[in-house]
Amino acid sequence: MSPPKWHLAHTSWFFETFLLKPFLHDYQTPNEHYEQLFNSYYNGVGEQFPRPQRGLLSRPTVAEVLDYRAAVEEGMRRLLATGDHPSRDAIAQRTELGIEHEKQHQELYFTDLKYSLEINPLAPVLWPRLQSTGGATPALDWQHFDGGLVTVGCTGEGFCFDNELPPHQYFLQPFSLADRLVSNAEFLQFVISGGYQQPQWWLADGWALVQAEGWTAPLYWRRAGTGFTEFTLHGPQPLAPDLPVSHVSAYEADAYARWAGARLPSEQEWEWAAAGAELERSLRPGSPRYHPRAAGAESGVRQLFNHCWQWTSSAYAAYPGYQAASGAIGEYNGKFMSNQLVLRGSSCVTSEDHARASYRNFFYPRDRWQFSGIRLARSLHGPQGTQDDTL
């Protein structure tokens, strides 16, 4: 986990490094050490400060980071006011990337904060009250998709990241997708029935992890009497059966799906279903809310966005024809294309602008500190029929 001030400094660093230093000729950095200190992982920029030691940095103070931010904002204002800059196009592209990058860190700010609040015995909360979670979860239904040769990847006018490109044709077999996320009540059945103690549901790596870590429930569930509480950014709450299960690893999502006689969707299946769905926008009026809500009673595939990210079965990899940018900025997405899985959708703390069908989030299958949930899928092929079921 990185401290909050680190996120603020790092997003400022991004603008300074990729815009102010190369393009604003008289720019003076407030502190030349920040280049190393707030570089997250760009080898092309130089050395990085070791991540596990970020918590040991009492300097710069929050006030100094805010000064840094102000200096960068002032520099950006001056840069963008230069109407006839010879690198005008690159500046525009990178400014947009910097803004999108910052939105990603705004989400990480919330999930890092949730983790550090939960381990703190003082039990601090971000916002004291959690408003009603909506009505009862309707029974899970399946929506059928015929598949065929479809287009995957970003085709719209707006911004998208390089990992959503290029759009390309993909052949989908017929499939069904659950019309809502798996609920806490449903996942609780898996827990109660001994799912975490039965190897037959688990991928081999997942089973090894469950043993090593002693996992018996999602990250923020705590046993309380005969039931569970769930820690939220509004403090600990009795486990709400109608809310979607959240903060599960891909291994838990996969094991649950197998137990439930289903599977996780591929990212292409998810995208195809979402592209055809009406975009359910979050309404965030009234008091702040940092937690998913229950599925509504309307028909169709719901909870695609604004509740929990949804693990897919797809390894995070380059699309056919993908080409990373050259230079350090090319490290943004491409170098992480190993050992991680794609998550689709968006969560209750994601920037709303990031809610699009082609967006590809990615984490290691063991990661649980994001708002990550489960949407089930099914193939329409029957069993292959050649397998041996005798034993």
Cα separation values, 286 from 20, 292, 306, 359, Å = 38, 15, 16, 28
How far is residue 235 CA from its own chain's centroid? Answer: 22
Amino acid at position 367, single letter? D
CB of 367 to its own copies, least distance (A): 13
Closer residue to its own copies in complex, CB, 117/185:
117
Pairing status of strand 148-152 against strand 361-363: unpaired
∠ CA 303-304-308, nearest 5°, is: 75
Residues in region 244-263 near its own copies by CB under 8 A:
250-251, 254, 263
Residue 87 is a binding residue for its own copies (CB under 8 A): yes
In sequence order, what DSSP letters do the residues of 322-388 get, joined into one string?
--PPSSGGGGTTGGG-SS-EEEES-BTTS-GGG--TT--EEE-TT--SS-EE---EEESS---S-S-
**Among 248, 247, 252, residue whose Cα is nearest residue 207:** 252
Q: Is the peptide bond before 166 cis (omega within 30 degrees of 0)?
A: yes
Span 30-59, contacts to its own copies by CB under 8 A: 31, 33, 36-37, 41, 43-44, 49, 53, 55-59
Binding residue for its own copies, selected from 78, 131, 327, 352, defined by CB under 8 A? 327
CB 349 within 8 A of CB 111: yes
Residue 345, sorted as left (phi over 0), alpha (psi -120 to 50) or beta, turns out to be left
Based on the shown chain and the rule CB under 8 A, indicate whether residue 383 belongs to the binding site for its own copies.
yes
Nearest approach in angstroms of CB 97 to its own copies is 8
| C-beta of 18 vs 363, nearer to its own copies | 18
* Backbone CA torsion sign across 245, 253, 164, 175: negative
* C-beta closer to its own copies: residue 44 or 276: 44
CA–CA gap between residue 99 and residue 388 (Å, rounded): 54
Shortest Cβ 199–its own copies spacing (Å): 4
DSSP of 268-328, one letter per residue?
Answer: HHHHHHHHHS--------SS---S-----SSSSS--SSSB-EEEEEEE--PPTT--PPSSG
Q: Which is nearer to its own copies, 175 or 187 (CB)?
A: 175
66 binds its own copies (CB under 8 A): no
> How far apart are the C-alpha atoms of 345 and 340, rounded to whole Å?
16
Please report whether residue 101 would count as binding its own copies according to CB under 8 A: no
Question: Do 20 and 72 meet the contact criterion of CB atoms below 8 Å apart?
Answer: yes
Q: Out of 94, 101, 293, 368, which residue is the one contacting its own copies (CB under 8 A)?
A: 94
Q: Which residue, 119, 379, 132, is CA-closest to 266?
A: 379
Residue 20 CB, nearest distance to its own copies (Å)? 13
Determine the interface stretch with its own copies among 77-85, 91-99, 132-140, 274-282 (rule: CB under 8 A): 91-99
325 binds its own copies (CB under 8 A): yes
With contacts defined by CB under 8 A, name the span among 177-185, 230-238, 289-297, 382-390 that binds its own copies.
Answer: 382-390
Binding mask 107-136 for its own copies (x = CB under 8 A): ---------xx-xxxxxx------------
The CA distance from 310 to 304, in Å, is 8
- Judged by beta carbon, residue 28 or residue 390, the one nearer its own copies is 390
**Rounded least distance, CB 109 to its own copies, Å:** 12
Peptide bond into 236 cis (omega under 30): no
Nearer CB in complex with its own copies: 131/323: 323
Count of residues in contact with its own copies, rule CB under 8 A: 88
Cβ at position 8, least distance to its own copies in Å: 13
Interface with its own copies, residue 157, by CB under 8 A: no
For the window 163-202, what string marks contact with its own copies as x by the rule CB under 8 A?
Answer: --xx-xxxx-x-x-----------------------xx-x
* Residue from the set 127, 142, 207, 259 that interacts with its own copies by CB under 8 A: 207
Residue 164 CB: number of other CB atoms within 10 A?
22
Residue with tokens 């309404």: 283
* Interface map 262-301 toward its own copies (x if CB under 8 A): -x--x-----------------------------------
Residue 235 as a binder of its own copies (CB under 8 A): the answer is no
